[in-house]
Amino acid sequence: MTEPAQTQQLPVAERTGDRLHPLTPFVKGWGYFVVAAIAMANNESLRSNLKIAGIGLLGVLVGGILLGALSWWFTKWQLTDDAIRVDSGFLFRRTRIIRFDRIQTIDVAQPFVARLFGMAELRMDVAGGGKNDGKLSYFTEADATKLRGTLLFRAKGEAEQELPAPQEGPPLLVVPTGRLLGATLLSSTVLASAAALIWLIVTTMVFEFHVGLFAGLPLLLGVVQPIWKQVVGNHGFTLSETQDGLRTKRGLFDVQRQTVPPGRVQGLLITEPLIWRLIGWARVDLDIAGVAGSKSDGDDEHEGAQLLPVGQRGEVAEVLRRVLPGTDLQLIQMHRAPERAKWLRPVGWRYLTYGVDGQVLVTTKGWVSRRTSIVLHHKTQSVRLQQGPIQRRLGLANVHVDTPQGPTNAVALHRDLAEAAQLLEAQADRAREARRTTESFSQQPFRQDPAEGAEATGIQ
């Protein structure tokens, strides 16, 4: 019998002290040159003396390249038996050790300038770490993809083998650019900013009431910034299915890919602003272990993974079916808050509901912007009852179902006190039973985060 052929080693196999791509300093530092050029263009004295301006720009370019080259030279990465180690810094040394069993997901992203040179960065979502702690940039796109495969096998605790490039099936859905633009223009932020900007222009031109240019700039940004973020950032939004789970791809300039691995979803949030509801649109966000940002990163502390920036009701139902097989929100009986809750929510009390099935707990709130929070029973970290002074007089209470940090905030607001106490005990029992019986952990592509089981024992 012939011996089986040995698996070909990956080009990015373990070596000591590998450096990143040599063009990394330029890709990271080009922005400083652009900022310097804009600043000099706005300086009248420099515009009148092009020779000095040119020397200044050249100095910024050379200085940026030298500093970037020093940073690149002192930055090295290597794979060890149980972690990936990154050493960086030439004045102040910094060492990051990212354990394989703490890695939640790994994605390959291509910022605009990096994409021009065929380069990419690895983005690892690490349990307990910030969003920048898991970034490693830059590699060639092929090397980044192969290193991702190596890390996936290490994270699973399996023997390394050659991993084919991720195969994406036919797109499950593609969000049209026109819908993205329409949804952004119909958002409350853009509508309010546009209305205020129009009022400012009218008062300035008709009533000659001059409030100054600076008063209009924030309003203009309130219109432009959401359009840029949603239309440009989510351009070509595509949802596909791969062997690692659902994968999103989006971005006109910076192409970003994000994987939603099975078993890592902590909760979901469906947002339906008033005008969107009339059209039949909604947005779906996810809580995924290791994905939520933190204030130290400069991000929204409630940021999660965007599963669908704007979709029709049928598309929302389809993506929910794939993330939560066996759960149909239309079949869950929802319980409305008692009528005396109108003393606290005169209009919105009719929309305060909650419902339960064998897999999830669902809460809704809001009549201007409807928010539906969905929490999986086995991901519940704690359940608590809360009463304010007015609620005590009315015999009402809130029941909070706590999950890891993210956009989902499941609260059964203004329930009858007896009903709230019953829901508190019932949800605690459901969470304990679900963790004992669920098979979701055995289906995860990565090993269970040791901290996750400890956190889930905090039910009160």
pLDDT for res 438: 67
Q: How confident is the model at residue 115 (pLDDT cuts 50, 70, 90)?
A: confident
Residue 456 has pLDDT above 60, yes or no: no
Q: How far apart (Å, rounded) are the C-alpha atoms in residues 262 and 104?
A: 11
pLDDT band at 51 (very low <50, low <70, confident <90, very high): confident
Strands in 100-187 per DSSP E = 103-109, 119-126, 135-140, 173-174
- When pLDDT is cut at 50, 70 and 90, the band that residue 302 belongs to is very low
Angstrom distance (rounded) from CA 242 to CA 160 = 20
The pLDDT mean for the chain works out to 80
Q: What is the pLDDT of residues 185-233, one digit of tens each?
A: 998 888 888 888 888 777 777 766 665 556 677 777 778 888 888 889 8
Radius of gyration of the chain (CA): 26
Answer whether residue 309 shows pLDDT above 90: yes
* In the predicted structure, residue 265 carries a pLDDT above the cut 60: yes
- Give 114-122's long-range contacts (Cβ < 8 A, gap of 24+): 114/27, 114/138, 115/254, 115/255, 117/23, 117/27, 119/21, 119/23, 119/24, 119/27, 119/144, 120/144, 120/145, 122/147, 122/148, 122/151
| Higher pLDDT, residue 148 or 282 | 282
What digits encode the pLDDT tens for the residues 408-426? 889 999 999 999 999 999 9
Per-residue confidence (pLDDT) for residue 161, from 0 to 100:
53
Query: pLDDT category, 276, cuts 50, 70, 90?
Result: very high
Q: What is the pLDDT of residues 137-190, one digit of tens each?
A: 899 988 888 888 888 888 776 655 555 555 666 888 999 999 999 999 998 888
Q: φ, ψ for residue 26 (rounded to 5)?
A: -70, -45
Question: Could you give the count of Cα atoms lying within 13 Å of 179 in the half-sphere of its Cβ?
Answer: 17
- Rounded to whole angstroms, the Cα distance separating 183 from 192 reads 14
Name the percent of the chain lying above pLDDT 90. 31
Long-range contacts of 275-283 (CB under 8 A, 24+ apart): 275/186, 276/183, 276/186, 276/310, 277/370, 279/186, 280/312, 280/313, 281/179, 281/183, 281/310, 281/311, 281/312, 282/308, 282/310, 282/311, 282/313, 282/316, 283/308, 283/309, 283/310, 283/311
Looking at residue 301, what is its pLDDT? 42
CA-closest candidate to residue 86, choices 136, 144, 15: 136
pLDDT for residue 266 is more than 60: yes
Q: Any idea which residue has 């196999």 for tokens?
A: 13
Local structure of 77: helix, strand or coil: strand
* pLDDT recorded at residue 305: 79
